[in-house]
Amino acid sequence: MSSESRPWHVESSIVSKRTSNPIRKVIDQLNVPPNPAKQLVSLSIGDPTLYGNLPPPETATSTLAAKSTDLKSNGYLHSCGSPVARDAVAKAYTNSTLTYTSDDVVLASGCSGAIEMAISVLGNEGDNILLPRPGFSLYQTICESKGIECRHYNLLPEKMWEADLADMQSKIDSKTKAIIINNPSNPCGSVFSLQHLREIAQLAAKNKVPIIADEIYAHMTFSGTSFHSLVEVGKEVPVLVTSGLAKRYMVPGWRLGWILIHDPIGAFAEVRKGLLALSTLILGANSVVQAATKSILENTPVSYMEHNMSILETNAKYCTARVQEIPELFAIQPLGAMYMMVGIKEGAIEAKLFDEVEFSRQLLIEQSVAVLPGSCFGLQHFFRLVVCAPIDKLQIAFDRIAEFCHTHSLIQSRDVVVNGLAAVKLTEE
Amino acid sequence: MSSESRPWHVESSIVSKRTSNPIRKVIDQLNVPPNPAKQLVSLSIGDPTLYGNLPPPETATSTLAAKSTDLKSNGYLHSCGSPVARDAVAKAYTNSTLTYTSDDVVLASGCSGAIEMAISVLGNEGDNILLPRPGFSLYQTICESKGIECRHYNLLPEKMWEADLADMQSKIDSKTKAIIINNPSNPCGSVFSLQHLREIAQLAAKNKVPIIADEIYAHMTFSGTSFHSLVEVGKEVPVLVTSGLAKRYMVPGWRLGWILIHDPIGAFAEVRKGLLALSTLILGANSVVQAATKSILENTPVSYMEHNMSILETNAKYCTARVQEIPELFAIQPLGAMYMMVGIKEGAIEAKLFDEVEFSRQLLIEQSVAVLPGSCFGLQHFFRLVVCAPIDKLQIAFDRIAEFCHTHSLIQSRDVVVNGLAAVKLTEE
Ligand SMILES: Cc1ncc(COP(=O)(O)O)c(C=O)c1O
Ligand SMILES: Cc1ncc(COP(=O)(O)O)c(C=O)c1O
C-alpha cells in the first residue's frame, strides 16, 4: 500500500504512552455526582490557595507587581536561573556549619520541574529508584515516563510514618540510582526526626546511593516539632534537595522551584554538569518571579509563616480530634505540612467501605465531601485529607463524615472504640 | 572491593550526557577579551529586551501587575493551562475558515517547552526528525537529548532562504517522525510565501510526516510581506504549531508558550492524549502570566506591533544597506523576525577570516562587536546579527565592521564589489 492511500494515523511516542498519572484511574472512579442537597466540601486538592484563608505574603505579591512593570525583569536569564535568585536560595540553606553558593542551585519550573531534572540526571531507562509508599504520585509518573523502575519502600503508620529501613535496604540493588525521601510528607503530614534522617543517610552512604530529598514542605511543622533538612545529616552522602516557593509562600501557580546540590564528598561533579545541560532544554522559571525571589526569601516576616502554621496546626488538631471521635476511623496525628492520612478500621464499617476508593466514592455521593483514596498514594484502607480549609468547612465535613460512618457502621455498641493502630497491624498480619 | 571502600562518584544519566547545546563549543571559542579601547556592542543575543527600545505592551505589564495582587491567580491550574488562556490562544488562530477551541491548545514553559513536548510526543529514540539548516540550535539539543537523529535540510540563501524541497524529500525515510519548519526564521529573518508553505505541506502530506511549525515569530514581518501560518495550507497535514508570548510581546523571560494542535484529518487522536500526559510532568506555565494572557492577546493595540515592527524593519534595512557597502560581505535582506545572516565572500578577505568563527573572534578582539558565527546555526561562512539594537548602536557596530573588513580585505581595488550570491555558489560547487 502506498503511503498516499494509507489512512493517516500519527502514533504517539513510547515516552508519552508510558507517561501517566497512576492516580488517574482512581480519580476517574470518583467522577460521580455529589449529593445535590449538600454543598460540596473539597478536602481533596493540595492547593492551599483554594479557600483564600492562606494568602501569599506581601513580599511575594507586591514585589511581583513591582517587578511586573519595572521593565528590567522580562528578558532571558541563565538557564539555571538568575545569579541573584540562586544566591538567595543558597543563602537560605547556609548556616554556621554548611555553606552553599549560587553554583549549588538550579532553578526550575516548580518543584515538579526540579524533581523531573533530579530524576533525569540520575536515572537511566532500566535503572530503578526508591520511592516512599504512601507517596506523592508525581515521582512514579516521572520515573515511568523515563522507563525507570519504581521500587516502593514502606512508611510505617505505627511509627509515625517513618521509613521502614529494612524494607528500603532490601529494595536496593546495583541498578538503584536514587532514594527519594519526602520530608515533611505528602500525604502523611509526618516530619522525620534528626535521628531518623541520620539512619536514612547512613543507609544511603553504606549503599552508595544518592538521595533526592523532596523538601517542598520544609519548615512547615507544628509546635514541638522541628524541621531538619537531610543536608544536616548528609556529611557522607550526596543529596539533591528539591524545593520551591509553592507551599511555604502559598504560590503553587508561580512555578518557581529549585534543586540544591549538596555534595560534601565531591561525588556529584558529573551530576552538576548534567543538571546544567538539562536546564538548557526549557529555561523553566519565570523571570519576574525570579526577580521577586530574593525579596520573598529574605524579607518575608517570620510572623507570616507562624500565622500560616498556626492555622494549619489548629486545623490538623481539629481534624485529628474529630477522627478520634469516629470509632470506624483512626488518625495518625500530623506533625507538619498540610495533609493527614485517616485509616479505615477493618470490621468496623460495611466491608465494601473498607475499600478506600469505595469509601471516598460513597462519601462524595451521600455527603458531598471530597477526599482522596490512599490508593492515590499507593496505600489501601486510608484516605487523605488536606487540612487547609477553614475550620467551619472542616466542621461541616466532619459532621458529615461522622454521619456517614455511623450510617455504615458495623460496630455493635458504638461506644466501644477500637484501637486504630492495632487495626492496621491486624490487616497486615 | 566493598561498596564502603570504593570512592564515590555518581555517574550522570545517558540523557543528561547527550544533552548539549551544539553552539557551546563555538561560543567557547569566542570567550576572548574585547578591545579594551572600544565599548562592547552586542549584536549576538536574541533577547529583544536587552536595549530597552522594544518594551512589552502595557497590556502585558499592567495586567501582570494587577494579577500579581488580586489573590486569584496563584493556584494550580489544569496541566495544559487555564481554560481562559487556552481559549484566548485558540481564538487568535480562529478565522472564517479555521476554528480552534481551548482543547486544541496546550500551554507550556515558553516556546522551548512547547517544542520539547512536540518533539517528545512524536519521536522515539532511534527515529529521526528533519531540521532546517541554518536553524535554531535548540531543535538539535532536544532531539539529541532524546536520542532522536537530527537530519538537516538546507535553506537556500539564493532563494531567500526557502527550504530545499528536494533535499528535504531525500532525507525522509520510514523513521522520520516530523519535519520542523521555522517561519519566520531564526537566524535568517526570512518569511515563507504562501506558495512555498503549500509546497512544504504537500511534501509532508505525500510522505505522511507531520509538521512541527515553530511560529514564535508569527506576524513579525516587514512592509510588503505577510505572515502565513502553516495551518492555512495544511488541510491535509496534521501540524503542531509552537509559539508563545516571548517575541511578539517582548517578554521572553515570562515563559509562556503553547502548542496549537491542527488536525484537519483526525490523525492526531493519540498525539493529543500524549500531549495531555506529557503536560502533567512539570505544569510549565506560570499562573499569573496565564491570567494575563487573554488581555495580552486580545487587548494589545495593533499600533504596538506596528511600532515594534517599524523599528525592526528600519534596523534591518539599515543593516542590509550597511552590509551592501562592505565589499567583503553580502546580505540576504530579511523580511521579518529580528535577525539577519551576513555572508563572508571567499577570496575577498584574508583566508582565515572566511572561517566564520575566526571572523567573529577577531571582530570581537579588534572591534568589540559581538556577532554569532553561522556555525552556531549549522552554516559556515555566515554570521548572524540581531537587529534589535538602537540605530546609534548599529551605526557604531557597522562602522567598526566596515573598518575590520577594510583592514583585512584582499580586494585589490576596493571599488569592485563582488556579487555575494555568486560567491556562495562558488563555495558550494
Ligand atoms: C511532595 C511534593 N513535592 C512536590 C510537589 C510539587 O510542587 P510544585 O507545585 O512546586 O511543582 C508537591 C505538590 O503538591 C508535593 O506535594
Ligand atoms: C525559532 C525559535 N523558536 C523558539 C524559541 C524559544 O522561545 P521561548 O523563549 O518562548 O522558549 C526561540 C528563541 O530564541 C527561537 O528563536
d(CA A313, CA A311): 5
Atom nearest to B135 CA in ligand 2: 1
Q: Please say if the pLDDT value at position A424 is more than 80.
A: no
| Percentage of chain B lying above the pLDDT 90 cut | 91
Q: Among A7-11, A291-295, B9-13, B322-326, where is mean pLDDT lowest? A: A7-11
Q: Please say if the pLDDT value at position A1 is more than 50.
A: no
The finding on whether A137 has its CB within 6 A of some atom of ligand 1 is: no
Q: Among A4-8, A40-44, B110-114, B304-308, where is mean pLDDT lowest? A: A4-8
Per-residue pLDDT band for B276 (boundaries 50, 70, 90) equals very high
| Percentage of chain B lying above the pLDDT 70 cut | 95
pLDDT at B425: 42
Distance (angstroms) between ligand 2 centre and the Cα of B119 equals: 14
SS3 annotation, A63-93: HHHHHHHCCCCCCCCCCCCCHHHHHHHHHHH
Sole residue written with cell 477553614 = A390
- pLDDT, chain A, mean: 94
Digit-coded pLDDT (tens) for B324-383: 999 999 999 999 999 999 999 999 999 999 999 999 999 999 999 999 999 999 999 999
Q: Please say if the pLDDT value at position A345 is more than 70.
A: yes
pLDDT at B5: 55
Partner residue opposite B284 with nearest CB, options A10, A62, A109: A109
Digit-coded pLDDT (tens) for A227-240: 999 999 989 999 99
Residue B72: closest CA among chain A residues belongs to which residue? Answer: A49
8 Å CB contact of B10 and A268:
yes
Q: Please say if the pLDDT value at position A425 is more than 50.
A: no
Distance (angstroms) between ligand 2 centre and the Cα of B220 equals: 14
pLDDT at B420: 47
Digit-coded pLDDT (tens) for B254-274: 999 999 999 999 999 999 999
What one-letter code names the amino acid at B289?
Answer: V
pLDDT at A402: 98
Q: Measured between beta carbons, which residues in chain A are less than 8 angstroms from residue B109?
A: 109, 113, 255, 282-284
Per-residue pLDDT band for A200 (boundaries 50, 70, 90) equals very high
pLDDT at A4: 52
pLDDT at A355: 98
Digit-coded pLDDT (tens) for A391-401: 999 999 999 99
CA-wise closest residue to A187 among A336, A41, A13: A336
Phi, psi for B24 (deg, rounded to 5): -50, -50
Digit-coded pLDDT (tens) for A57-70: 999 999 999 999 99
pLDDT at A5: 55
What one-letter code names the amino acid at A197?
Answer: L
Q: Measured between beta carbons, which residues in chain B are less than 8 angstroms from residue A76?
A: 45, 47, 49, 252-253
8 Å CB contact of B55 and A65:
no
Q: Among A161-165, B7-11, B390-394, where is mean pLDDT lowest? A: B7-11
pLDDT at A234: 85
pLDDT at B424: 45
What one-letter code names the amino acid at B125?
Answer: E
Residue B82: closest CA among chain A residues belongs to which residue? Answer: A253
Mutate to test the pocket of ligand 1, among A185, A247, A341, A385 (most ligand atoms within 8 A of CB): A247
- pLDDT, chain B, mean: 94
CA angle A141, A111, A27 (to 5 degrees): 40
pLDDT at B1: 41
User: Chain A: nearest CA to B256, how far in angstroms?
Assistant: 9
Q: Are B177 and B131 in contact (CB under 8 A)?
A: no
Atom nearest to A114 CA in ligand 1: 11
How far the first Cα of chain B sits from its last, in Å, is 60
pLDDT at A429: 31
Digit-coded pLDDT (tens) for B25-69: 888 899 999 999 999 999 999 999 999 999 999 999 999 999 999
Looking at per-residue confidence, does A427 or A414 come out higher?
Answer: A414
Q: Among A388-397, B277-286, B400-409, where is mean pLDDT lowest? A: B277-286
Q: Please say if the pLDDT value at position B248 is more than 80.
A: yes
Digit-coded pLDDT (tens) for A370-397: 999 999 999 999 999 999 999 999 999 9
pLDDT at B24: 81
Q: Please say if the pLDDT value at position A415 is more than 70.
A: no
Digit-coded pLDDT (tens) for B166-186: 999 999 999 999 999 999 999
8 Å CB contact of B269 and A9:
yes
pLDDT at A293: 98
Digit-coded pLDDT (tens) for A86-105: 999 999 999 999 999 999 99
Q: Read off the pLDDT of each residue in B135-141 and give the average, rounded to a whole number.
A: 97
Per-residue pLDDT band for B415 (boundaries 50, 70, 90) equals low
pLDDT at A265: 95
Per-residue pLDDT band for A23 (boundaries 50, 70, 90) equals confident
pLDDT at A284: 84
Atom nearest to B246 CA in ligand 2: 10
d(CA A310, CA A257): 25
pLDDT at B315: 98
pLDDT at A43: 97
Q: Read off the pLDDT of each residue in A300-320 and give the average, rounded to a whole number.
A: 98
- Nearest ligand, CA A241: 1
Phi, psi for A6 (deg, rounded to 5): -65, 135
Protein residues whose CB sits closer than 6 Å to any atom of ligand 2: B 46, 110-112, 136, 182, 186, 214, 216, 244, 246, 252, 257
8 Å CB contact of B267 and A10:
yes
Digit-coded pLDDT (tens) for A104-154: 999 999 999 999 999 999 999 999 999 999 999 999 999 999 999 999 999
